[in-house]
Amino acid sequence: MKVLITGANGFVGLPLTRLAASRCEVVALVSPRANTAHLDAIAPKVTLVHGDLTDDETIERLARTRPDACIHAAWYTNASDYLDSPRNVDSLTATLRLALRLGAAGCRRFVGVGTCLEYDTAGAVPLTESSPLEPGRLYSACKVGAWHALRQVGRLTNMAVAWARLFYLYGPREDSRRFVPSVVGALLEGREAAVSPGGQVRDFLYVEDAAAALWAVASSSVQGAVNVGSGEPVTVAHIARTLGMIVDRQRLVKLGALPYRPGDPMSICADVRRLTEECAWKPQSSLEAGLRHTVAWWREQSTQPLRAGNK
């Protein structure tokens, strides 16, 4: 089987590409100026394509590789503005153009990557794949739009389509501005880690397990939406305290130093029965083990000279 992976050097795309390359032939799309040092070790097993999905020529090049399946992880994800950036619209249209072209070229399976923020997060939890959708930002609205349109693309091209809704991921190479790495960074530097009161309940999943879940979805015959999370509710306060314990600087974790963000949902957790039962997936890392791996990775970055591709 030949699998196309877009966003192959991204936070979840890199471990996914490594996993896929151990099982089949892989075509990996990376951005034109991407640092691909992380992919060097598996380069003999992967055909790298540098390109931008907003460019028709890139889509044509990918279609000419004639993949049997595509796992589409590329999207605009700059942590500073991704929730409301107009570039989400570019990602939406590029997704549909890619799917249409791949379907016409004979691709038989397409797995898109969505988000838990597509759901009505003010509703009941745990969230199932049939829970009401109520996207509150442009990012999640474009993801919902992509999912609805992809179903019709699949119908028109006879391509099986699945939509993996990711919940809260953490692990090595996550953007340093996000919650887990920002707390880890402060603690490793001996600074106070300012956190909200931490009563928010979330569903956190180690990124390597998320990559394995995406592969499990792609390898199955499942169609439609599939939640990708741990299925285990945990508070933000528990995450922060656990990180403090791992780094042995619990006193620097300052719960309540920041207010809750306006409109931040208090509880988001996944029902993952479809993922575990129909895709035969189960996580390999406990929450503490995943956090320990993450801290170890960030500690290594802080104690070594900055290398190309280090982050």
DSSP assignment string, 169-234: EE-TT--TTSHHHHHHHHHHTT--EEE-----EEEEEEHHHHHHHHHHHHHS---EEEEES-S-EE
The two beta strands, 233-235 and 201-206, are antiparallel
Q: How many whole angstroms separate alpha carbon 261 and alpha carbon 251?
A: 23
When the pLDDT of each residue in the chain is averaged and rounded to a whole number, the result is: 95
pTM of the predicted model over 0.85: yes
Task: Report whether pLDDT(83) > 80.
Answer: yes
Give the per-residue pLDDT at 57: 96
Chain segment 129-175, per-residue pLDDT in tens: 999 999 999 999 999 999 999 999 999 999 999 999 999 999 999 99
Mark out the alpha helices in the chain (DSSP H runs).
Answer: 13-21, 56-64, 87-104, 138-157, 179-188, 207-219, 236-247, 273, 287-303
Give the per-residue pLDDT at 36: 81
Tokens of 4: 């196309």
Chain segment 226-260, per-residue pLDDT in tens: 999 999 999 999 999 999 999 999 999 999 999 99
User: Do residues 181 and 298 touch, judged by C-beta distance below 8 A?
Assistant: yes
CATH code 3.90.25.10 region(s) in the chain: 172-203+232-268+286-303
Task: Report whether pLDDT(279) > 80.
Answer: yes
CATH code 3.40.50.720 region(s) in the chain: 2-169+204-228
Sole residue written with tokens 């890392």: 285
- Listed in sequence order, the residues at least 6 apart from 2 whose beta carbon sits closer than 8 Å to its beta carbon are 24, 25, 26, 27, 65, 66, 67, 68, 69
Closest CA to 183 of 230, 117, 236: 236
CATH code for the structural domain at 2-169+204-228 = 3.40.50.720
Q: What percent of the chain has pLDDT over 90?
A: 90
Q: How many whole angstroms separate alpha carbon 248 and alpha carbon 244?
A: 6
Beta bridge partners of 193: 253
CATH code for the structural domain at 172-203+232-268+286-303 = 3.90.25.10
